[in-house]
Structure 1
């Protein structure tokens, strides 16, 4: 689901922006020499002599919150303005008029006039540019929104929705790479601060990447998403895309379904049926039995199911016959000559939950067997050895490298406390 941005209302803007701006407005009648600390705050405004009468009227009307008088004074000021100082005052009081009248068009006009004067104090530049960009975003003027939001970011704006709006402005303007870069920067900044990034930073660029058929970039982003949002449905969506990417590689499909099961993301009868069929074909009866029993326990399908019932009966007999042999094989030394058979034994042991017995077998052959290196990490993760699993997954290369990253996230999520959600 794609969530909507919730722009700040005019009333909230008056509280945030209007008060801030009123606090820094220079009284037009001031004659005193500015102090050193005041000089450091920014340029001192000095209206032109021809503009002073209109400036006094705007200031008085704004203080009195007299919208009609302020509207007349602003019109007079617009006609009399001749310098950048004058234009800043016109912009400022146009904004105040927009706030009084709850007129966003006037608010946007006032912000732009003040910004174009070049005299907005640095301390307020982030706020002015952010709201100007927000108004441009609402009008779908994305090039202008990008310019303003980038200026707000450069000025140090701390508005919580700035990364989302800047990212989406780039995406809406067709600049996917720039939008993706903003999204990733926002995600990592939140992660470094111990917070969960806004879901918009994942969902909106993911939609753009999917439309552009950039599956690798999409999966990179979704990998970050499950780190922050490890809900089963998020895992499910991510792993389904990965299943589509690997196509007909049965061994890879089985490994993906194993991760789907480990993250609680299997909820459909068809998924259990595919998993059971692949495990049966690969010769893991114990794993088939475990998967089917899990589906029954979750009421995904009934005991009377025409496909699962006969399969469970046949594989249960095989699993019972194989179990003692598997345990015996686990104690045999692993050599180069029997490495392939050893990996099969370890795989079968993991399938029946004997992770501790499988781990040393994988360790003996991992250096020369990339699949064993990957499945070593899986066994360690399932055994609760999060640090060891992460170290093993870090060594995985080739077509299981992405799966290794996803498993690392799953292992670390099990071991770490939850991060704080973003506002």
Structure 2
């Protein structure tokens, strides 16, 4: 009767460990001097008087000479009462004794092992949390939430290397199973990598973050991290701003001014004009100090004039572009058409330039093609083009981010 009540209490208390079927043996019984105080404790626990229940449990234990079965029952009652009283560490220690008795079916042993690991984590006893989470894993436990205790415990214990290893293992297993890593797991990994000063790992994890849990803030971090990697080509600065713009992260006047100047230097005057027009519409431009406004207005006037001249003469250079020895002029002019809104004319030119070859920066040119398809609303083709972008100058990193963005609608 007492054992059945303990099972009920464990369930009612929501401890996460249910003693569903403790095997009874012929010699299993409680002596009256042990059973009587435990029955008193049981009533107090049922009345949710958890602290008061501890004294009769101690009286039962003080009888002395407890049999293994009596010790087993006392440990269960102590763990239940201490859990209700808010003593997580004491409760976990008591349930360690329950587990040590090895009287439970494997499934219940696993559930209590899981509960003990979680209890120690909440009690901030990180070495014990690590010990019992590893025991849970070794016993065949597979719940990702529970396996995540390891990374958390190592992180809060200050072992960021092990936290990175365990979080990476958990995320990889989740992805392999076709699942979606949680935002919390990714955030913990990112934080551990930052503590380890692992810039490359941080950037890779940010790619996963924007893939699975996109937000404007995460996109901003991912893009700027990619651009901050060693070896990032200055030729790709405009491409960085393009990604920032596409993800809603152009939030300062300087963003628009820098991007517009880079576009104008690349002779993409239509794109420069579009950037400045957007900056004025957002009231980020034309609203600062007199000196700032004068500089911004001067650039706008220049860009508008250049765009007008370029738009009027762009078609006249087609013959020379086709006769060029390399594909670069075709790519550049095709991009100009696309940024003027004429994708039907521009996309075939970029494709033709890539086929012609002899490109100065072939991967950067392939990145341009992916971006051009994205602008044209052909996101499937954009992703196909971006798959071919390789190299270590930053083009491949930006291509990966564009591919993720193109896959999000």
Where does residue 221 of structure 1 map in the other structure? Answer: 205
SS of the residue 2:18 aligns to? helix
How many Å separate the matches in 2 of 1:16 and 1:218?
37
Deviation per CA, 1:62-98, whole angstroms, max 9, x where unpaired?
5423554663234533743453x44432321111221
- Quick check: 1:94–1:107 contact (8 Å CA) kept in 2? yes
From 137, 144, 148, the counterpart of 2:132: 148
| Match in the other structure for 1:80 | 65
CA shift, 1:167, in A, is 1.8
Question: Partner residue of 1:341?
Answer: 329
Deviation, structure 1 residue 165: 3.0
Q: Tell me if 1:203 matches 2:203.
A: no
Contact 1:330 1:346 in 2 (8 A): no
Distance change (3 Å), C-alpha of 1:58 and 1:251 = farther
Q: 1:333 to 1:252 in 2, by over 3 A?
A: closer
Q: Is residue 387 from structure 1 mapped to residue 380 from structure 2 by the alignment? A: yes
TM-score, L = length of structure 1? 0.78
Residue 5 of structure 2 aligns with which residue? none
- Cα distance in 1 between the residues matched to 2:297 and 2:230: 30
- Secondary structure (helix, strand or coil) at the match of 2:325 reads helix
- Give how far 1:290 is off: 0.7
Residues 1:410 and 2:405 are matched in the alignment: yes
In structure 2, do the counterparts of structure 1 residues 112 and 326 end up closer, same or farther at CA, with 3 Å as the change threshold? Answer: farther
Match of 2:269 in 1: 285
Aligned position for 2:40 = 61
Q: Secondary structure at 2:14's aligned position in 1?
A: helix
- Contact 1:97 1:106 (8 Å CA) reproduced: no
Over 3 Å counting, the alpha-carbon distance change for 1:112 and 1:232 in structure 2 is same
Q: Separation in 2 of the partners of 1:168 and 1:110?
A: 23
Change (3 A) 1:17 1:209: same
CA 1:73–1:203: 2 relative to 1, 3 Å: closer
In the other structure, the counterpart of 1:258 is 242
Match of 1:245 among 217, 223, 229: 229
CA drift of 1:312 comes to 0.7
Q: d(CA) in 2 for partners of 1:58 and 1:355?
A: 85
The 1-side partners of 2:80 and 2:90 are apart by 9
**C-alpha distance in 2 between matches for 1:18 and 1:199:** 24
Count residues in correspondence: 384
Q: Secondary structure at the match of 2:113?
A: helix
- 1:180–1:119 distance in 2 versus 1, CA, 3 Å: farther
| Aligned residue number for residue 233 of structure 1 | 217
Q: Which residue of 1 aligns with 2:3?
A: none
Q: 1:12 to 1:355 in 2, by over 3 A?
A: farther
Task: Tell me the TM-score normalised to structure 2 length.
Answer: 0.81
CA distance in 2, matches of 1:97, 1:224: 43
Gaps (5+ residues) in structure 2? 1-8
Q: Which runs of 5+ in 1 are unaligned?
A: 1-10, 27-43, 415-423
Per the TM alignment, residue 316 of structure 1 is displaced from its structure 2 partner at its CA by 0.5
**8 Å contact kept, 1:54–1:77:** no
3-state secondary structure, aligned to 1:337: coil
- 2:107 aligns to what? 123
1:282/1:117 CA distance change after superposition, 3 Å: same
